[in-house]
Structure 1
Amino acid sequence: MKPKLPPIQLPIMAAVLITLLAALWAGLIRVGWRWPALQPLLPALHGPLMISGFLGTLISLERAVALKRPFATVGPVLSGLGALWLVIGLPLPVGQWLLFLGSVGLTAVFSHILRQHFANYTLTMSLGAVCWLVGNGLWLAGWPIFKIVYWWAGFLVLTIVGERLELSRVARLSAQTIRLFVGAVALFLVGLLAVLVWGDAGTRLVGLGMIALAIWLGLYDIARKTVRRTGLTQFIALNLLLGYAWLFIAGLTALLVGQTVAGPLYDFMLHALFVGFVFGMIFAHAPIILPSVLPIQVRFHPVLHAPTVFLHLALLLRVVGDLGKWQPIRAWGGLLNAVAILWFMGQMVYLAVTSKR
Structure 2
Amino acid sequence: MAAVLPKPRRRGSAGKPGPSRALRVGRLLLVPLLASLLLLAVAGGLLRAGLPVGGGVLVGQAAAQHAALMICGFFGAVVSLERAVALKARAAFAVPLLALAGGLALLAGWPQAGALAFTAAALGFTGVNLAIVHRQAAPHTIVLLVSALAWLTGNVRLTVGLHDDAMLASWFAFLVITIAAERLEMTRLMRRRAAAQPLLVAVLCALLAGAALWSALFGVALVALALWFMSFDIARQTVRAKGLTRYMALCLLGGYAWLAVAGVAWLGLSLGWASRDAALHALGLGFIFCMVMGHAPVILPAVARIKVQFDAAFYLPLALLHASLVLRLAGPAWRPTGAVLNAMAMALFALVMVRAALRWRAMERARS
Task: State TM-score, norm by structure 2.
Answer: 0.89
Contact 1:203 1:259 in 2 (8 A): no
Secondary structure at the residue paired with 1:34?
A: coil
- Does residue 248 (structure 1) correspond to residue 268 (structure 2)? The answer is no
Q: Which amino acid aligns with 1:162?
A: A
1:214-225 equivalences under 5 Å are 214-225=226-237
**Letter of the aligned partner of 2:350 in structure 1?**
M
Which of 212, 224, 234 is the equivalent residue of 1:193? Answer: 212
User: 1:315 and 2:335 equivalent?
Assistant: no
Q: 2:101 aligns with which of 73, 77, 81?
A: 81
Question: How many Å apart are 1:221 and its aligned residue?
Answer: 0.2
Q: Show the counterpart of 1:198.
A: none
What is the 5 A alignment of 1:199-210? 202-210=214-222
- Whichever residue aligns with residue 46 of structure 1, its letter is H
- Structure 1 residues 86-122: Cα deviation after superposition (integer angstroms, max 9, x where no partner): 23x2422112211211111111100111111122211
Deviation at 1:41, TM superposition (A): 2.5
One-letter amino acid of the structure 1 residue matched with residue 226 of structure 2: A
- Contact between 2:62 and 2:69, CA under 8 Å: does it hold in 1? no
Structure 2 CA distance for aligned equivalents of residues 211 and 265 of structure 1: 15
Q: Which of 283, 292, 303 is the aligned partner of 2:293?
A: 283
* Offset from partner CA, 1:162-205 (integer Å, 9 cap, x none): 100001111131322211111111111221221xxxxxxx1010
Question: Which residue in 2 is equivalent to 1:18?
Answer: 36
Report the aligned-residue RMSD. Answer: 1.5
Gaps of 5+ in 1: 195-201
- Residue aligned with 1:320, SS: coil
SS of the residue corresponding to residue 142 of structure 1 reads coil
Q: 1:349 aligns with which of 340, 354, 363?
A: 354
Identify the match of residue 120 of structure 2 among 97, 101, 117: 101
2:176 aligned with 1:157 = yes
Structure 1 CA distance for aligned equivalents of residues 359 and 193 of structure 2? 43
Contact kept in structure 1, 2:154 and 2:166, CA below 8 Å: no
Aligned residue in 2 for 1:143: 162
Matches of 1:91 and 1:192, distance apart in 2: 27
Q: Distance in 1 between matches of 2:104 and 2:188?
A: 38
Unaligned runs of 5+ in 2: 1-19, 363-368
Query: Looking at CA atoms only, which structure, 1 or 2, has the larger radius of gyration?
Result: 2
Residue in structure 1 matched with residue 62 of structure 2 by the alignment: 42
Task: Write the letter of the residue equivalent to 2:284.
Answer: F
Instruction: Report the number of matched residues.
Output: 340
Indicate the SS of the match to 1:41. Answer: helix
Q: Distance in 1 between matches of 2:64 and 2:274?
A: 17
2:44 aligned partner, one-letter code: A
Q: 2: distance between equivalents of 1:38 and 1:284?
A: 34
Is the contact made by 1:129 and 1:155 (CA closer than 8 Å) also made in structure 2? Answer: yes
> CA-to-partner distance for each residue in 1:230-275, whole Å, 9 max, x for gaps?
0000000000000000001111122233177xx9510111100000
Q: For the residues of structure 1 that align with 2:148 and 2:27, how far apart are their CA atoms?
A: 20
Once residues 221 and 27 of structure 2 are traced to their aligned partners in structure 1, the CA distance between those partners, rounded to angstroms, is 35
Aligned to 1:227: 239
CA contact (8 A) 2:262 2:280 kept: yes
What is the CA-CA distance between 1:8 and the residue it aligns to?
Answer: 3.2
> How many Å apart are 1:145 and its aligned residue?
3.9
Q: Give the Å deviation of 1:24.
A: 0.2
Deviations 1:17-38 (A, max 9, x none): 1110000000000000022334
Alpha-carbon shift at residue 289 of structure 1 (Å): 1.2
Sequence identity, in percent? 37
Q: 1:336 to 1:301 in 2, by over 3 A?
A: same
Which residue among 45, 60, 75 is the counterpart of 2:80?
A: 60
Q: Which moved more, 1:77-86 or 1:26-35?
A: 77-86
Cα deviation, residue 146, structure 1: 2.8
Comparing 209-218 and 249-258, the one that deviates more: 249-258
SS, match of residue 356 in structure 1:
helix
State the distance in 1 between where 2:105 and 2:215 align: 31
Task: Provide the secondary structure at the position in 2 that maps to 1:242.
Answer: helix
- 1:52–1:99: 8 Å Cα contact kept in structure 2? yes
Query: Which one is further off, 57-66 or 250-259?
Result: 250-259
Structure 1 consecutive aligned stretches of length 4 or more whose deviation exceeds 4 Å? none
Residue 335 of structure 2 corresponds to which residue in structure 1? 330
Q: CA deviation at 1:126?
A: 1.0
1:140 shift after superposition: 1.0
Letter in 2 for 1:63: R
Letter of the 2:195 partner, please give it. Q
- For 2:195, what is the secondary structure of its paired residue? helix
More contact order relative to length (CA 8 Å, sep ≥ 6): 1
